Amino acid sequence: ISICRELPNIEVITFSVNAISDLEPLKQCQNLSELYLRKNNIASLNELFYLKNLPRLRVLWLSENPCCGSDPHRYRMTVLRNLPSLQKLDNQAVTEEELSQALVDGEEITAPPARRSVENGYLESAESSAAESATETESELLSFTLEETNKIREELGMKPVPRDKFSSFAPRETDCNRKKRNNVLNAILLLMKELDVEGLEIVQQTVGRRLQALRKKELQEE
């Protein structure tokens, strides 16, 4: 997620299921409008402190993080009190009534979270949460990753990836390798947003050559 410090103009970010615990790098993304962080290791709602000054943020998906706690009402009210410009939270539209109620039921966040040291068990906690995330079923992971990837492709004016194409990249890969590949794919799509016409043409030519080489290799193996 540290790469976001170098992408101040990025508009859509999807980092779901990535063991992310720190949102500090996002505070530089002043053009960010959609942020997908479902099922990470975000332990405290105080991480919202880093999102409070993002003027264009309209969509946030934060569910299935430890910070959501056991009281969904308090969680939602606290998020909306601190991010009143949101139009959708966790794939649910935000209403005017909720925004008013959030001023009463939500908790105001005025400071960033305190960071725990490795000695205090932070590393062990992060590893434990990451292990739990890794047990997510393949179909669920692919479903959400496909949805978020296609959202980015839509923003870039690209056609969506059909599910059969997306899920057939490498079905025999381990969960770790599949996640790594999907993370690389999402990072590439995000970075493409920063390119001008000349840059995109270079990418297109490079991809074309790469595809030709891979297809030639597949024919030789057959």
* 77-115 per-position pLDDT tens digit: 999 999 999 999 998 999 999 999 999 999 999 998 876
pLDDT, averaged across the chain? 78
Q: Is the pTM of this model over 0.75?
A: no
Largest CA distance in the chain: 67
Q: Is it the case that residue 48 has pLDDT exceeding 90?
A: yes
12 in helix, strand or coil?
Answer: strand
DSSP code string of 132-156: HHHTS-HHHHHHHHHHHHHHHHHHT
Q: Which domains are delineated in the chain?
A: 2-105 (3.80.10.10)
What pLDDT was estimated at residue 32? 92
Please answer whether residues 41 and 66 qualify as being in contact, where contact means their C-beta atoms are separated by less than 8 angstroms.
yes
Q: Tokens at residue 48, please?
A: 């919202």
What pLDDT was estimated at residue 214? 79
Residues 6+ apart with CB under 8 A from 38: 16, 17, 61, 62, 63, 64, 65, 90, 144
